[in-house]
A = this chain, B = another copy of it.
Amino acid sequence: MTSRAQQRVDRALAGDRRSLARAITLVEMRSPGVGTALATTTVRRRAGPGAPHVVGITGPPGAGKSTLADRIIEAAVAAQQRVAVVAVDPSSPFSGGAILGDRVRMGRHTGNDLVFIRSLSSRGHLGGLSAASAEVVDLLDAAGFDLVLVETVGVGQSELGVMEVADTVVVVLTPESGDAVQTMKAGLLEIADVFAVNKADRPGADRLVRDLQRSIELNQAKGWQPPVHATSAAEGRGVDALLDETRKHLAWCAGEGLETWRTRRGDALIRLYLDLVGEAARAEARTTLDAGLEEAIRTHRITPHQAAQGKR
């Protein structure tokens, strides 16, 4: 028996772009069929660093992440690489609407067979965001891309969770991003493999580069030391050097850092498993929530805790 979701996934993996786009929509909608399809299809999973090289791009709003992604696409296409971009859109969990700014900006790559750009709306799925993006990256992996960029606003937890899927995380900051303490507060220091100080022509850029370098030294992490690069993505300056650093990081992952990479990747897989279990239970509770219980919770006759304990 082959479900429609299964067919979509199979065709997507065979290289059909339209099926790929639809399969991603099914993942995004948390369609139960696609979960089964992903479980039963022999979706290729990265067993080692690279193939594809999954590069996460994160940082505060307005740091120029999309512009940087755009430049990286350009460089990849020039090298005849197949590149996919997943822009995780932290659009409102309230309206469910996606602002298409990023897609519009990257629109000049539309029609280029080497490039696949997709924005992934988060649709109010608290906690499900990292699971969804991990699944999408698996699909893109299986579909044979060489480079997968995952772009997300890097302040919230769910968005940081998205970065777990990456081999290499590029944190993009600007002199306007605020001081180093703010960066640490946002948890960016711990996840960065490479720092890009973008809009490097603006005042304060040199200071930010120095502050970050000092923070990295103080952090005294073992193994890979995240380099700090000045870029001007809008003018294309510093992007090649930045890309070189991401490749150096990938080479480190494949060599000296292999155990670190394996642990990170394994942790992400375990987390995905736990997220899927939690999400399935949550979805089931929503489906089976009867009108009486809902009304009782809404009118304070029973607390959410009492209701949840009653479920067990």
Which B residues touch A306, using CB under 8 A? Answer: 39-40
User: A272 contacts B304, CB within 8 Å?
Assistant: yes
Q: Does A273 contact B (CB under 8 A)?
A: yes
What separation, in Å, do the CA atoms of A158 and B134 have in the docked complex?
Answer: 18
B-binding segment of A16-24, A73-81, A186-194, A231-239 = A186-194
Contact at B157–A93, with CB atoms within 8 Å? yes
Q: Which of A106-114, A174-182, A206-214, A249-257 lies at the binding interface?
A: A174-182
Per the bound structure, the CA–CA distance linking A299 and B269 in Å amounts to 10
Contacts of A181 in B (CB 8 A): 99, 101
Q: Does A15 contact B (CB under 8 A)?
A: no
Asked if A159 is an interface residue, CB under 8 A from chain B, the answer is: yes
What residues of chain B lie closer than 8 Å to A156, measured between beta carbons? 90, 153, 155-160
**Are B297 and A276 in contact, with the CB atoms below 8 A?**
no
| A91 near B61: Cβ-Cβ < 8 Å | no
A270 close to chain B: CB less than 8 A: yes
Q: Inside 8 A of A93's CB, which chain B residues have their CB? A: 157, 160-161, 187
In Å, the complex CA distance between A196 and B99 comes to 23
Task: Give the B-binding residues of A (Cβ under 8 A).
Answer: 35-36, 38-40, 43, 45, 47, 60-62, 89-95, 99, 101, 122, 124-130, 134, 153, 155-161, 176-179, 181-182, 184-187, 189-191, 262, 266, 269-270, 272-282, 285-286, 289, 294, 297-300, 303-309, 311-312
24 contacts between A and B (CB under 8 A): A60-B61, A61-B177, A62-B179, A89-B185, A90-B186, A91-B185, A92-B187, A92-B189, A94-B160, A153-B155, A153-B156, A156-B156, A156-B160, A157-B157, A158-B158, A176-B176, A266-B298, A269-B300, A269-B304, A270-B304, A272-B304, A273-B297, A276-B308, A277-B311
Task: Give 15 new A-B contacts, CB below 8 A, not counting A90-B157, A93-B187, A272-B304.
Answer: A47-B300, A62-B179, A90-B185, A99-B184, A126-B161, A127-B127, A155-B159, A156-B156, A156-B159, A269-B300, A270-B294, A275-B282, A276-B304, A278-B281, A278-B282
